[in-house]
Amino acid sequence: MIESIKDSPLYPIANPKSIAIFGASNKVTTMGTGLLGSILDLGFEGEIYPIHPQEDQVLNLKAYRSVLDLPTVPDVALIVLPTRIVSETMDACGRKGIKHAIVISGGFKEVGNEGVTLEKELVAVANKHGIRFLGPNCIGVTTPRHKLNTTFMTYEGAPGFIGMASQSGSFVTQMFNYLSRHALGFSTAFSVGNEANIDIVDCLEYLSACPDTKVIALYIEGIRRGRAFVETARSIVPKKPIVAHYVGGSETGRRAGLSHTGALAGPDRLYDGMFRQSGIIRAQSIIELFDICWMLGSLHGDAGRRVVIQTHSGGPGAEAADACGRSGLELPSLSSETIKKLSPLIPHTASIGNPVDFTFGKNLMDYFSTIPEVLLEEKNADVLLYYFSMPNRTLERMLKHMGVPSDEIAALAPELLDAQCEAIINLVETGHKPFVGYTFQSIYDKLVRRLVERGIPIFQGPQRAVRVIQAAFQYTQLRDKILSAVSQE
Amino acid sequence: MIESIKDSPLYPIANPKSIAIFGASNKVTTMGTGLLGSILDLGFEGEIYPIHPQEDQVLNLKAYRSVLDLPTVPDVALIVLPTRIVSETMDACGRKGIKHAIVISGGFKEVGNEGVTLEKELVAVANKHGIRFLGPNCIGVTTPRHKLNTTFMTYEGAPGFIGMASQSGSFVTQMFNYLSRHALGFSTAFSVGNEANIDIVDCLEYLSACPDTKVIALYIEGIRRGRAFVETARSIVPKKPIVAHYVGGSETGRRAGLSHTGALAGPDRLYDGMFRQSGIIRAQSIIELFDICWMLGSLHGDAGRRVVIQTHSGGPGAEAADACGRSGLELPSLSSETIKKLSPLIPHTASIGNPVDFTFGKNLMDYFSTIPEVLLEEKNADVLLYYFSMPNRTLERMLKHMGVPSDEIAALAPELLDAQCEAIINLVETGHKPFVGYTFQSIYDKLVRRLVERGIPIFQGPQRAVRVIQAAFQYTQLRDKILSAVSQE
């Protein structure tokens, strides 16, 4: 393991002060031009040197005929050129003294035969000059805090706490919008491509040392350095959770992965075992991968398996209870203290069990403050699973039918929303237990949106919420198992 | 089975011309007032008679002191009163000659002991007068085409093709917004409550005969008339698919359901067997229930298990392929005719396998027209699974960096969107195979939204899309099995 993040070959790649870009032009349809567009879009603050054999300017930046003409030695070379000239470009970069590169170009090992030979050549040239590089056949890196994004798509949203290494560039770029919709973001995300020089293990080391990364996400089609992967992961997990989505365990997945990055996949159970040994939580889809990251990155303290459910509707409560049971989570009975505290708050038609079903409660605000406060204090439970519906819209509608003037309703609605939002935030910040929401409302529903933007995880439907609670509990077990093995050594 | 929809006791309940409502007042916080609000909101076109002991007007409608004072005999009585006066109200309705009722009030069998006695009394009173009723402890019915919604929440969106019977009222009302976001809606939805008189089997018969219902959705916590349920379902499935979500198979789910509607649940495998015997597709969540309904209601013709995947990104393609493999779907090799037709359209870095990976294709529009057209003609495949990303936003961005004036970009963008949208619609309408989309973009992404509003199912992530393809194939198998058993009788 590296001592400091600056010892990682990925440090200058993820945080360059200057970039030479090969392949950007003034032609809109080229990949290189698109990448330069992304870099400009995010407002990169370092130097950018387009290298172009004919142009004097590229997208209004001064261009250079050759990398050898540059006034300084850039931190990183970004190469987006036809396959046949990548090696000679790498050689020129080496002669200039450049020590780090990102090779976007494809046409190497992933196409087989001559591609394999070309990739060997590229590696030899880089080794000759001591250049460390990401790729080929990747889409680069994004470090939104550093205003760096070398990928084809514009970064959306704010920087976040998810550090990612992905064997699919699409699962970096095509998740920008997805993450931003969930008020999540990347600390740094690497698309590793064919891993000819820098691989997913190097990414793990970097992300482990990265102070902005709270949780590490991996998308895997095949692992090359198995032993190093396991050892590195085991050294990270006690400090930081790692979540992985592996595609390749099914025959159809394996074939698709092979033509994609040329990685050799293994049977599912082999990877299952490797992840377990590494202390890695396995996700079953990309969406689940980010769900679990959301939960683990938002979590204060440890998670347990004893859940208390708060609902005001029987069906959503029963579905959540059922999902808990199927996932091995427990629904403890409420303690007599809790029942005593809830009794005055809950109507007689409601159920003071677990789920706690408020039905149409006596005072709407109790649902957002008093009741969850009591439940977060329940000594028999580790986590509060909380159902969000839409009482405000219904209340507004009723006021309308009562003839309350619409300007009064319009004034009242934001006040109610503020009160509910602040009550929940206050609970989450002062409570000592995880709070997880579920809903069938849109992530753009006013209350849901505000809470999500304040970092509270709220999932579509109870199954996804239950899965992340289970994963958080699984993390504490995996971590403790590694720690106990270490202490016995 | 009933001969005609009008033979169903639910016909006047779902399509009344006049309603007497008990429990609505001018007090905003009562349930009854909320329900009357919902009825008014949807613009019910029949007569509404509020019955109130003191008021002359309720929400600006003429009110009557007693149901006996009404000028006519209404089609249905909607009762939202305290438990203790429900039976006497039902008796008064009977004396007036009313033959159908909806009892919203709770406090009956679901609370145990005296509630059980009260429910027996209510049933006896209704039987005396020959009244058929839905409930108690339900939230009623919604038939949006008839502008009827007796539930607590405002109906959102347009009428749709999903006919539902639910043992949770919340899974009717709290899905209004969810369905509307997916451009789906109910034909009719029944909240069956305690099923004291009309039960889920009666709902099946009604929905079977309902011309607006293409697919039947059930939310089940426990079935009372097992044999009738199986027989009725078996007679429906050859004409119309039925999808059910059962909660109660886990211990935690069973306990939650019991306190909700008092239905006795059985072990999971018992219900699994009953659904299989009935030809019913089982969903594992409410969201999956509506996913499958979406697919089955949009489907033209039969679905098979041989899938061809179209993507322009390796990761999303590999994930979809993996999901197909895990779900027992096949990814056939493309025929030589298809490969011959695709070769000129796909760049050499792309992969003409299955998934067909377009990468950054030669001509953007090929992705929306020529390629899927070829794939829908592939003789080895039954279904096209199609990946939606966001090429337009990227294209607009690139044009911006090229210095294309923003008004020109603004003019170009809708044209592109129109062209893409119409190309896909045209394919779906003229193609003879199911087209299923998946994406990580929002359902409010411009292209996705327009296609969804035109009835094309597009799911978040490949797993949900693969699950509905599997369910559609399962339907054909279940249906054919019943038909073959019938023909042997």
Residues A259 and A318 placed together within one structural domain of the fold: no
Of A170, A319, A463, the CB nearest to B314: A170
Gap between the Cα atoms of B175 and B155, Å rounded:
9
Are B313 and A170 a contacting pair at CB < 8 A? yes
Q: Tell whether B322 lies on the interface with A, counting CB pairs under 8 A.
A: yes
Gap between the Cα atoms of A216 and A254, Å rounded:
24
pLDDT at residue number A261: 53
Q: What is the DSSP letter of A330?
A: B
Gap between the Cα atoms of A420 and A105, Å rounded:
51
pLDDT tens digits, one per residue of A350-407? 678 899 887 665 577 888 899 999 999 999 999 999 999 876 777 777 677 767 788 8
Pairing of strands A356-357, A383-388: unpaired
**What contacts B400, CB < 8 A, 6 or more positions away?**
A37, B406, B409
pLDDT at B402 over 80: no
Residues B291 and B314 placed together within one structural domain of the fold: no
Q: Which residues of B touch A152 (CB under 8 A)?
A: 394
Q: Tell whether B34 lies on the interface with A, counting CB pairs under 8 A.
A: yes
pLDDT tens digits, one per residue of B306-356? 999 999 888 999 999 999 999 999 999 999 999 999 988 877 666 788 998
Residues A290 and A305 placed together within one structural domain of the fold: no
Within a domain: B179: yes
Of A251, A260, A349, the CB nearest to B325: A251
Nearest to B359 by CA among A325, A168, A213: A168
Pairing of strands A57-58, A47-51: unpaired
pLDDT at residue number A405: 84
pLDDT at residue number A391: 66
Within a domain: A318: yes
H or E element that contains B96: helix B86-96
Within a domain: B438: yes
Look at phi and psi of residue B344 and say left if phi exceeds 0, alpha if psi is from -120 to 50, else beta. alpha
Within a domain: A486: no
The model's confidence at residue B64, banded by pLDDT at 50, 70 and 90, is very high
Tokens 């009244």 -> residue:
B131
Q: Tell whether A315 lies on the interface with B, counting CB pairs under 8 A.
A: yes
pLDDT at residue number B483: 95
Q: Which residues of A touch B255 (CB under 8 A)?
A: 321, 331, 353
User: What is the percent of chain B where pLDDT is above 90?
Assistant: 75
pLDDT at residue number B204: 98
Residues B97 and B181 placed together within one structural domain of the fold: yes
Give B58's strand partners.
B61
Phi and psi at B407, nearest 5°, equal -70, -35
User: Are the C-beta atoms of residues A78 and A22 closer than 8 Å to each other?
Assistant: yes
Tokens 């969810």 -> residue:
B178
Residues A284 and A316 placed together within one structural domain of the fold: no
User: Are the C-beta atoms of residues B475 and B296 closer than 8 Å to each other?
Assistant: yes
H or E element that contains A273: helix A268-278
Within a domain: B485: no
Of B41, B285, B321, the CB nearest to A252: B321
User: Are the C-beta atoms of residues B265 and B228 closer than 8 Å to each other?
Assistant: no
Residue by residue, DSSP assigns B294-335 as: HHHHH--S---SBEEEEESSHHHHHHHHHHHHHTT-B-PPPP
Q: How far is B231 from chain A (nearest CA, A)?
A: 26
Q: Which amino acid is at B160?
A: G
Q: How far is B248 from chain A (nearest CA, A)?
A: 7
Gap between the Cα atoms of A397 and A399, Å rounded:
5
Domain finish residue from B269, B296, B323: B296
Domain finish residue from B247, B266, B296: B296
Q: Which residues of A touch B165 (CB under 8 A)?
A: none
CATH code: domain of residue B285: 3.40.50.261
pLDDT at residue number B307: 97
pLDDT at residue number A264: 52
Residues B273 and B361 placed together within one structural domain of the fold: no
Q: Which of B170-179, B202-211, B407-416 has the lowest mean pLDDT?
A: B407-416
**DSSP 3-state assignment of B5?**
helix
Q: Total structural domains in chain B?
A: 2
Q: Can you give the pLDDT of all 489 residues of chain A as single tens digits?
A: 888 999 999 999 999 999 999 999 988 778 899 899 999 989 999 999 999 999 999 999 999 999 999 999 999 999 999 999 999 999 999 999 999 999 999 999 988 889 999 999 999 999 999 999 999 999 999 999 999 999 988 898 999 999 999 999 999 999 999 999 999 999 999 999 999 999 999 999 999 999 999 999 999 998 989 999 999 999 999 999 999 999 876 666 667 665 555 455 578 888 999 999 999 999 999 999 999 999 999 987 788 999 999 998 889 999 999 999 999 999 999 999 999 999 888 776 667 889 988 766 557 788 889 999 999 999 999 999 999 987 677 777 767 776 778 888 888 888 888 999 999 999 998 888 999 999 999 999 999 999 999 999 999 999 999 999 999 999 999 999 999 998 887
Give A330's strand partners.
A306
Within a domain: A480: no
DSSP H helices, B356-405, are 370-376, 391-401
Interface test with B, best of A154, A252, A408, A470 (most B CBs within 10 A): A252
Are B174 and A285 a contacting pair at CB < 8 A? no
Question: What chain A residue is nearest to B248 in terms of C-alpha separation?
Answer: A322
User: Are the C-beta atoms of residues B376 and B433 closer than 8 Å to each other?
Assistant: yes
Mean pLDDT of all residues in chain B?
92
How many CB pairs (< 8 A) connect A and B? 262
Question: In angstroms, how far is CA A253 from the centroid of its own chain?
Answer: 22
User: What's the average model confidence in pLDDT over B290-295?
Assistant: 98
User: Are the C-beta atoms of residues A384 and A434 closer than 8 Å to each other?
Assistant: yes
Residues A281 and A346 placed together within one structural domain of the fold: no
Does A272 or B265 have the greater pLDDT score?
Answer: A272
pLDDT at residue number A165: 98
Residues A316 and A286 placed together within one structural domain of the fold: no
Are A314 and B168 a contacting pair at CB < 8 A? yes
User: What's the average model confidence in pLDDT over B182-203?
Assistant: 97
Q: Which residues of A touch B402 (CB under 8 A)?
A: 26, 28, 33, 59
Residues A278 and A135 placed together within one structural domain of the fold: yes
Q: SS3 for A419-484, per residue? A: HHHHHHHHHHHHCCCCEEEEECCCCCCHHHHHHHHCCCCEEECHHHHHHHHHHHHHHHHHHHHHHH
Q: How far is A176 from chain B (nearest CA, A)?
A: 10
Q: Which residues of A touch B32 (CB under 8 A)?
A: none
Q: Which residues of B touch A166 (CB under 8 A)?
A: 315
Give A136's strand partners.
none
Domain finish residue from A254, A273, A296: A296
Q: Tell whether A166 lies on the interface with B, counting CB pairs under 8 A.
A: yes
pLDDT at B74 over 70: yes
Residues A252 and A390 placed together within one structural domain of the fold: no
Within a domain: A489: no
Note the pTM of the prediction, 2 decimals.
0.95
Q: Which residues of A touch B325 (CB under 8 A)?
A: 250-253
Q: Tell whether B398 lies on the interface with A, counting CB pairs under 8 A.
A: yes
Give B190's strand partners.
B141, B165
Interface test with A, best of B60, B155, B252 (most A CBs within 10 A): B252
Within a domain: A487: no
pLDDT at residue number B476: 96
Tokens 């020109």 -> residue:
B408
pLDDT at residue number A318: 92
Residues A205 and A72 placed together within one structural domain of the fold: yes
Q: How far is A397 from chain B (nearest CA, A)?
A: 8
Q: Which domain holds residue B236?
A: 5-296
Residues A204 and A309 placed together within one structural domain of the fold: no
Query: Is the Cα torsion angle B393, B398, B403, B409 positive or negative in sign?
Result: negative
Cβ–Cβ contacts within 10 Å for residue A61, how many? 16
